[in-house]
Amino acid sequence: MNISLQNKKALVGGSSGGIGKAIAQQLAASGASVTLMSHSEDKLRDIVEALPKETGQTHQFLVVDFNDFNGFQNSISNYFEHNSVDILVNNTQGPSAGSALEKNVSDYQEAFDLLFKTVVFTSELALQQMIAKNWGRIINVASVSVKEPLSYLALSNTIRAAVVTWAKSLATDVGKYQITVNNVLTGYFDTDRIAQLNAKKAEQLGIAQSQVRKDMESKVPLQRIGDPIEYGYLAAFLASDNAAYITGTNIPIDGGLLKSM
């Protein structure tokens, strides 16, 4: 199966590292022109320069701060005044870890702005041109925790669940325009985020970080942590015409970690 995204334009959030970077790289490798979006200008510039550039491909980056919603609104609105996208990958960094008892109302409001409002606002702008073209792909990077909540990620559990239910509603509304909306439920991947969470857990338990990782791997039926490039393959497929009949879904990519159906 050949995945071709030639003549398609993509906007990928959180793409200065980890899963977002891997998605951007694979979309570019499949022929799309990609705009990377994150807060780290130096990292974004280096990644853009290294992306493949075949005939007709142009890549760029957009510096945003997902934690500053008002500033984000201004940046992304200005971007869409001069650009349109066919493929939108909604991805941001995760909110701080902690249990429900450790978080208060203001923490949930900050997480709502970070994980929900940025996604909805960006999607609203992207949809204007997608509807006009009668084609589009929206891919939301979510988490397996929306099905099986993780006690130490109360904020992420809560707000990402809101994102996936919103996405289901949106998929129903925009299907007639041949626009698909799908959520990818992320398991354990070898990223800086996982390393940070493991370091905190190791400190709390008084054990080595390597032991935390080993315990994590043992919970996955495939007995390993995912490589972000594997995530990129799934995103490229969902962005392509090959996935034109897949919408409104929650697709786990977790090595079999989820126990529920």
- Name the residues annotated as catalytic: 152
**In 133-147, which positions are buried (b, 16+ CB within 10 angstroms) versus exposed (e)?**
eebbbbbbbbbbbbb
Cα-only R_g, the chain: 18
**In 107-132, which positions are buried (b, 16+ CB within 10 angstroms) versus exposed (e)?**
ebebbbbbbbbbbebbbebbbebbee
Tokens for 109?
């409001």
Q: Which residues contact 74 (CB under 8 A, 6 or more apart)?
A: none
Q: Rounded to whole angstroms, what are the CA distances from 119 to 13, 167, 170?
A: 9, 10, 12
Q: Which residues contact 131 (CB under 8 A, 6 or more apart)?
A: 174, 177, 179
Pairing of strands 87-90, 60-63: unpaired
On the CB side of 192, CA atoms within 13 Å amount to 9
Q: Which residues contact 212 (CB under 8 A, 6 or more apart)?
A: 198, 201, 202, 205
